[in-house]
Structure 1
Amino acid sequence: MLNVYGIKNCNTVKKALDWLNENQIAYTFHDYKKEPAQDSKLMEWQKLTSWENLVNKKGTTWKKLSAEQQAAVVDEKSAREVLLSNNSMIKRPVIELENDIILGFDEETYKQKLSNL
């Protein structure tokens, strides 16, 4: 069973969950609003993708940071710190696979990586 992390009312998360449901792929959803991301989880994800990929710089939460706060996000540690205090800034959804993660929603990527589950 997949673990899917995100925020229930996020449009991208909704698209991802709809796709998983339509393709009858079982998952457990972890809502950041109810279960905030933990440092250990972010460290796991940073082993599988770059910290730059985990930080959603297109969202309103990032844009609300001051220029100084944004400029301070320069490495894995500083990225984890800002993501822990602002879970809404984590690219979503995050779908955990055995030795990989998928960030966001891209139907072709989902077909390639999830259709055989």
Structure 2
Amino acid sequence: MLTIYGIKNCDTVKKSLKWLDKHSVDYQFIDVREQPLEKETVLDWLNELPADQLINKRSTSWRNLSDNQKTLKDNDALAELVAEQPTLFKRPLVKDNEGYHCGFKEAEWSDRYL
């Protein structure tokens, strides 16, 4: 079963959940606004994904960060920041039997989950 992390009103998350339902793929959805992220969860992500793959640098949340926050290199501090501001990570974030993946690309998901 897949675990999908996201925000239910995010257009990309909506599209990805609709795709999973259409293709009868079993998943658990975790809305990070309703179930706040633990720093340890984000550390798990960062242990597998480079920060530049995890962080959405085109988001309003990113643009609103201080220059100091934007240059964080320490995974511990970065995990804390993402846990506090979950709109910073690229959505959806998927945990499957191969690890973690960010974003929704229909062709990739077809290859991976069908």
Q: How does 1:43-82 map to 2 (within 5 A)?
A: 43-71=43-71, 73-82=72-81
Show the 5 A alignment for 1:97-116: 97-115=96-114
Residues 62, 89 of structure 1: 8 Å contact kept: yes
User: How far has the Cα of 1:41 moved from its partner?
Assistant: 1.3
> What code does the residue aligned with 1:103 have?
C
Q: List per-residue Cα deviations over 1:58-117 (Å, max 9, x = no partner).
A: 11111111223223x2232232121111111111111111131220111111011111xx
2:2 aligns to what? 2
Letter of the aligned partner of 1:22 in structure 2? K
Letter in 2 for 1:53: Q
RMSD: 1.3
Counterpart-to-counterpart distance in 1, 2:64 and 2:21: 33
Change (3 A) 1:48 1:68: closer
What is the aligned partner in structure 2 of residue 96 from structure 1? 95
Distance 2:12 2:65 in 1: 22
Deviation per CA, 1:15-65, whole angstroms, max 9, x where unpaired?
111110111111111001111111221122222211221111111111111
8 A Cα contact 1:12 1:92, kept in partner: yes
Matched pairs, number: 114
SS in 1 for 2:9: coil
TM-score by length of 2: 0.91
Q: Which moved more, 1:8-17 or 1:33-42?
A: 33-42
Gaps (5+ residues) in structure 1? none
User: Which segments of structure 1 move beyond 2 Å, counting only runs of 4 or more?
Assistant: 66-69
What's the TM-score, normalizing by structure 1? 0.89
3-state SS, counterpart of residue 30 of structure 1: strand
Give, in whole Å, the separation in 2 of the partners of 1:106 and 1:114: 12
- Report what 1:85 is aligned to: 84
**1:51 touches 1:75 (CA, 8 Å); kept in 2?**
no
Structure 2 unmatched runs, 5+ = none
